[in-house]
Amino acid sequence: MSKELRRAVGLVVACVILTGCDGLGNTTTDQRSGRIMDMQEAAERADSILDGTFGAISPEVHWTHGETTAGSCDLSRRRAVMTVISEQRRGGFLGVVERFWRKSGYEITSVNTSREFPAIYAKSPDGFGLRLSIAGRGQAFFEVATPCVEESDVARPRTRANGPDYSGGPIPRPDVYDDFWSSEGGLSASSVGIS
């Protein structure tokens, strides 16, 4: 093995061991400081993506924190919507979120157009994966998965749920009825911000 090749292999191995990069030197950096993010900073970024997304949903929905899970160099933050989203309103709900994600510069990578269990997948420019999926009884679930970052401790989210917080335990089916999102009536284009 040549000296240059041994050096390159050594650098890749050191990168993987010391920083948790993907073996190609790709890690996520904090756009403000330019340094590699750790798991706590990545969790805060995921929380800010979720906060922004929920802020764009009008009328507001009730939600709770879901489980935070961590891998060897990444983690996922989750939220579950406790407001019932009726079958008639699911398309409008997903549309509001999709438009906000596009406006925020996120790339829509996939859409599941199932009538009963639709979903949208997106990716932020800094490598965070976003998912919105509708499950049983019209319950919406959000997840933001971080790219590979430096290992660190991760605190609970700072944003308080706007209802009972079921994090750390089983999340019940949605039980909050909203005159708009739970309605079984049809939608007009103006009622969901489509112009």
- Indicate the DSSP class of residue 180: T
- CA geometry: angle at 190 spanning 188 and 193, to 5°? 120
pLDDT computed for residue 28 by the predictor: 58
**Range from 21-25, 83-87, 121-125, 134-138 carrying the lowest mean pLDDT:** 21-25
pLDDT computed for residue 9 by the predictor: 36
pLDDT digits (tens, 9 = 90+) for 96-118: 999 999 999 999 999 999 988 99
pLDDT digits (tens, 9 = 90+) for 31-83: 555 678 999 999 999 999 999 999 999 999 999 999 999 999 999 999 999 99
Correct CATH for 28-186 of 1.10.287, 3.30.230, 1.10.1200, 3.30.2030: 3.30.2030
Per the listing, tokens 């420019």 go with 125
Per-residue HEC secondary structure of 91-114 comes to HHHHHHHHHHHHHCCCEEEEEECC
Asked whether the predicted pLDDT for residue 14 surpasses 60, the reply is no
pLDDT digits (tens, 9 = 90+) for 124-170: 999 999 999 999 998 999 999 999 999 999 999 999 999 888 988 89
For the chain, domain boundaries:
28-186
Give the burial class of 167: count Cβ atoms within 10 A of its Cβ; 0-12 exposed, 13-18 middle, 19 or more buried: middle
CB within 8 A of 136, min separation 6: which ones?
A: 173
